Amino acid sequence: MLAIEADALRRTYTHRTGWLRPRRTETEAVRAVTFDVAPGELFGLLGPNGAGKTTTIKMLNTLLLPTSGTARVFGHDVARDPVAVRKRIGYVFGGDRGLYDRLSALDNLRYFAELYGVEARAQRRRITELLDLVGLAGRERERVEGYSRGMRQRLHIARGLLHRPDVLFLDEPSVGVDPVAARDLRRTVADLAAAGTTVLLTTHYMAEADELCDRVAVVTGGRIRALGTPESLKSRVGERAVLEIEAYGVGEDRLERIRRIPGVRGAAVEERGTAQALTVQTDRGAELHAPVLAALDGVRVGRVVSREPSLEDAYIAIVEDAERAEADGAGPEESHADGPGPGESHADGPGPGESHADGPGPERRGPARPDSAWPGPAPRGPEHPGTQEVPA
Ligand SMILES: Nc1ncnc2c1ncn2[C@@H]1O[C@H](COP(=O)(O)OP(=O)(O)O)[C@@H](O)[C@H]1O
Ligand SMILES: [Mg+2]
């Protein structure tokens, strides 16, 4: 049986904009997304902000109802049988909420174990196991307020695993985590998958996806644009080469100029502190150093390297193709230009409109309380996996 089956999943958000003359606007956040995840697989959803990754995860973990389409987790329909689904899943959303800062990690885990119905006799052993798994053993008596971002994130993962879910959803686990901590986090996730847990991860760090994921789906504008192993996605840009240029102050006009050079297949720029990393994808064999540098005339340029395409390059190519296709066809798209901005920031978003009507999503803002609105995996019951444990 498949761990996750998503079949033509759609989700449209309706919200009101305008104050004097409110209008209803619709955002098609997820548009007919179909994919499967096998048991024990580590599957990645990749895509830019606003692509629909979080919305997809929230439909799979029963926090949001699909507008149409179906999804199943180990055969249980998310809309018809959410209780059965919740027993099998855990989730971790990126961000800082969801833990009690003034308690120790140990007390946080005890609290959530209680909340999730982990049997009292099994709690201690389970918590010890998890502290070990996430590399926090020895630090569990410290208050969480002193924890680094990476330690918090690993504690979140431990929390998400208390009830031994078969599927763990990790939404942008490494956002804001420093590189060393992110490496530890990746090791934790890899260990988890190696131990048989199915993991659905969203990220926009390509190197992370490349290292961790068995398969990835690239999502933009609510649609899957490519799906396969990282290797198979890279082979899409196999006939290309990449020029990477350290630069300072490259704007959209320069990028356009570079894109018009014959033999250039794409150009993108990423801010890296004070510098920029400019990546230019070219046809393999085309010698484009000179024309590209000429197009950058007047811009301060640092190191220039040419290299083989990476998953990130494949991703950029896929996203650019999708954007081009969208711009060419399909008529007017709704604009998100005035939207709530990057990432999850709609938490502070459109006010008391109906957009939060979908219930106890973690975006619900409450008093300084972790997102324990999550009902947890099922109350105690004979079929609850936690209760099958034989205490030591
Ligand atoms: N609660 C909401 N109300 C209205 N629009 C939303 C809400 N949540 C997300 N959206 C919109 O849906 C689209 C997809 O968002 P999301 O699933 O959060 O993308 P991602 O996780 O890939 O960044 C975006 O255009 C976003 O602005
Ligand atoms: Mg998101």
pLDDT at residue 372 above 70? Answer: no
CA of 54 to the centre of ligand 2 (A): 4
Q: pLDDT value at position 302?
A: 95
What secondary structure letter does DSSP report for 387? G
Q: What is the band of 242 on the pLDDT scale with cuts at 50, 70, 90?
A: very high
Minimum mean pLDDT among 155-159, 208-212, 341-345: which range?
A: 341-345
Average pLDDT, the chain: 83
Rounded mean pLDDT, 303-326: 88
Q: pLDDT value at position 316?
A: 87
Pocket lining for ligand 1, CB < 6 angstroms: 13, 15, 27, 29, 47, 49-55, 336, 339-340, 346, 355
Given the CA of residue 339, which atom of ligand 1 is nearest to it?
27
pLDDT at residue 334 above 50? Answer: no
CA of 232 to the centre of ligand 2 (A): 25
Rounded mean pLDDT, 166-171: 95
Cβ atoms within 10 A of the Cβ of 289, count? Answer: 14
Write out the two tokens for 3. 């761990």
pLDDT at residue 138 above 90? Answer: yes
Higher pLDDT, 381 or 215: 215
Higher pLDDT, 234 or 362: 234
Q: How far apart are CA 77 and CA 3, in angstroms?
A: 12
Percent helix, percent strand, percent coil in the chain, to nearest 5: 35, 25, 40
Maximum alpha-carbon separation in the chain: 71
Q: pLDDT value at position 25?
A: 87
| pLDDT tens figures, 338-348 | 333 333 333 33
Write out the two tokens for 329. 């066809």
Q: How far apart are CA 336 and CA 331, in angstroms?
A: 15
| pLDDT tens figures, 274-297 | 999 999 999 988 889 999 999 999
Q: pLDDT value at position 169?
A: 96
Cβ(38)–Cβ(70) below 8 Å: no
Nearest alpha carbon, ligand 1 atom 13 = 29
Cβ(117)–Cβ(153) below 8 Å: no
Nearest alpha carbon, ligand 1 atom 1 = 355
Given the CA of residue 356, which atom of ligand 1 is nearest to it?
1
Nearest alpha carbon, ligand 1 atom 26 = 50
Write out the two tokens for 286. 């085309």
pLDDT at residue 264 above 60? Answer: yes
- Residue 73's DSSP bridge partners are 4, 76
How many Cα atoms within 13 Å fall on the side-chain side of residue 248? Answer: 8
| pLDDT tens figures, 3-29 | 999 999 999 999 888 778 888 889 999
Q: What is the band of 330 on the pLDDT scale with cuts at 50, 70, 90?
A: low
3-state SS, residue 368: coil
Q: How far apart are CA 160 and CA 125, in angstroms?
A: 16
